[in-house]
Amino acid sequence: MSLILHVDDDTVMRNLVSGYLKDLGHDVVSAENGLEGMKLAEDIGPDLILMDIDMPVLDGYAATQQLREKGYHGLIAAVTASERVKDLANAVVAGCDDFIPKPLGDDFPDLVKLILQRKDEIGKEELLTEDEFFD
Amino acid sequence: MIDDSFIEKLKVEFLESTEDSLDLIEEMINQSLQGQVGNDKAFEEIMRQVHSIKGTAASVGFPITTTIAHRLEDYLEGGTSITEPLGSGVGQYCDKIRGIISDGKEPPASETASMLRSLPMSHDGGDFDINVLDVEVLLVSPSKMITKIVRNELMQCGFRVVRAVGAMEAFQLAVRSQPDAMVFAQTLDELAGADLERAFKAMALTSDKPIGVLTSFSLDHPAWHGLPEDVMIIRTGRIHFPDDMGDFLAHIQSEFL
């Protein structure tokens, strides 16, 4: 069982993801924008953050980057409807470990399980800088 | 396993929240037209609401609504400012989604393509008086610049254009929109354009449709080995693009006009 923070400005999406994750036996906390998510992450130290990208107040890129700068070393997965490699690369550069595509499909629980399997490897690999990523 | 009653509850929530989103979109348009809200702020909010509908709809069982929202995103990307015509076009998209909300269900698959085609298309085709034809071209390219150039060429000839950025999105749109012709960039994120063409040529739905591939490769490049003979190669660059694109446009026109 893991503690998962889900950050998304869409109420239906928050409820849907929360339902899926609780069904898998995880504890779930939700936030409705990047700023709120960042504060909650600092308070609760989740094992995984599912981060929407396009949000008001503070978007997913900025929230992820700031969390990494503040020393958060847990897993962060971008949840995005974008298929553009550039957007996904930006998410990785900001500090995301993986991504989950929207709309969510039946494979969502399996994707979360796969990402959480990497929990034990945290800290073993250094985050890439933007220059290193594009090298 | 999540039970059906939970999903049903979420569907109701989705319908309610989407109605709120549509109200907000229309309010932003009206306020922008009246000068009460800045153009950029209104555009940003509208795009966010549309993006949210696109991401959520199919997750709770409304895939056609996701496609409508996708096309609305495409429509909005063709504009730079909120005008009366753009507001009117957005209103038509909102009406379609409202219809689905009102029914609580999506139209049958047999009606989807015609419903999607009744929606207005991006209007960045210049100021020419164009007779828009009922011929839809699926344009697949991750590049905004290539999309803008090729879409403009197609729209100048009166063709309707729907855009996808990658192969998976192209398959979804092709199934739901049933395009009359297709243009793929050779360099795509997940699958080479030539492979995408082979796949579309193998599907009954699209096997007899004209297909062009946009590329900077020369005609003797190994990527073209085994490509169906009727697939047209449209070379980019100043030397070849005008002629190759012209040939492709003439080919579509001969098929449909």
pLDDT at B175: 86
Residue in B13, B55, B189 nearest the CB of A81: B55
pLDDT at A106: 84
Instruction: Evaluate whether B166 touches B147 at the Cβ level (below 8 Å).
Output: no
pLDDT at A135: 53
- 3-class DSSP assignment, residue B213: strand
Torsion of CA B28, B31, B36, B41, to 10 degrees: 20
Cα–Cα distance measured from residue B112 to residue B156, given in angstroms and rounded to the nearest whole number: 26
Element (H, E) at B212: strand B211-215
pLDDT at B172: 84
Cα–Cα distance measured from residue B172 to residue B188, given in angstroms and rounded to the nearest whole number: 16
Beta-carbon contacts of residue B239 (< 8 Å; ≥ 6 apart)? none
Q: What are phi and psi of A3, to 5 degrees?
A: -100, 120
CB-based contact A23 B1, cutoff 8 Å:
yes
* Prediction pTM value: 0.79
Residues A91-110 have a mean pLDDT of 89
- 3-class DSSP assignment, residue A4: strand
ipTM score assigned to the predicted complex: 0.75
Instruction: For strands B181-185 and A3-7, give the pairing.
Output: unpaired
Instruction: Evaluate whether A103 touches A115 at the Cβ level (below 8 Å).
Output: no
CB-based contact B17 A10, cutoff 8 Å:
yes
pLDDT at B125: 45
Positions in chain B short of pLDDT 70: 78-79, 123-130
pLDDT at B227: 83
User: Best interface-test mutation with B: which of A8, A11, A12, A52 has the largest number of B CBs within 10 A?
Assistant: A12
Touching check for B176 and chain A: CB below 8 Å?
no
pLDDT at A128: 52
Q: pLDDT band for A89, please (50, 70, 90 cuts).
A: confident
In which residue are the tokens 């555009």 written?
B43
Residues A38-57 have a mean pLDDT of 94
